[in-house]
Amino acid sequence: MSLVARFGLLAAVLCAPAMAANERYPEGQAQEILDTCLTAEGRAEREHCMGRIATACMDADPGQNQTTVGMMDCYLLESRIWDTRLNAEYAAVIDVFAEMDTYDAEFNVPLTRVDTLRDAQRAWIAFRDAECSNRYALWGSGSMRLIEGAICRSELTALRTLDLIDKREWPN
């Protein structure tokens, strides 16, 4: 990956909070879209939540939000909303797993749920960053790389959030 491409990807990732705070779409409405959608039962139904925020954002002002930068901003907004939910779900799963690990402590289990989840989360972050860098790089110098990088971050963050919801709800 060239220095220019790396800088572009780094700028997109580091500026995500600032871009998402723009006036393209109200963050509160974006959060409400996700919260409402995630009340659906089951993984398959919840997967339909992916892309809803970005779509609503782009539809809110097609003249501005369906440009390359507008679409990137909308997907970065969606990524931030999913990331907030991911962090909340991660904390909830850690709490559930810690309670389960406490119960199992007397059995001297070699691997704990909390430690393995923490390891998995760290590995997932590295995977997400590498995968999204690759998807960005696939487009070379084309402007589509900006949108694809943002879509990748949004999709992978959403899928990981759904994984954590599944873990929190297991075995219910």
HSE-CB at 16 with a 13 A cutoff on CA atoms is: 22
Q: Mean pLDDT throughout 165-171?
A: 93
* Residue type, position 3, single letter: L
- The CA distance from 71 to 145, in Å, is 12
The pLDDT tens digits of the residues spanning 55-98 come to 999 999 999 999 999 999 999 999 999 999 999 999 999 999 99
3-state secondary structure of 66: coil
**DSSP letter assigned to residue 111:** S
3-state secondary structure of 143: coil
**80 contact partners, CB below 8 Å, separation of at least 6:** 16, 17, 20, 27
Mean pLDDT of the chain: 91
151, pLDDT greater than 70: yes
**Residue 171 confidence (pLDDT):** 78
**158 contact partners, CB below 8 Å, separation of at least 6:** 49, 50, 78, 82
- Structure token pair of residue 170: 């297991």
pTM here is 0.85
Residue with tokens 């060239």: 2
Nearest alpha carbon to residue 74 among 59, 57, 51: 57
Alpha carbon 51 to its chain's center: 11
Helix, strand, coil percentages for the chain (3-state, nearest 5): 80, 0, 20
Phi-psi region of 170 (alpha: psi -120 to 50; beta: other; left: phi over 0): beta
- Angle value at C-alpha 10, between 132 and 90, nearest 5 degrees: 60
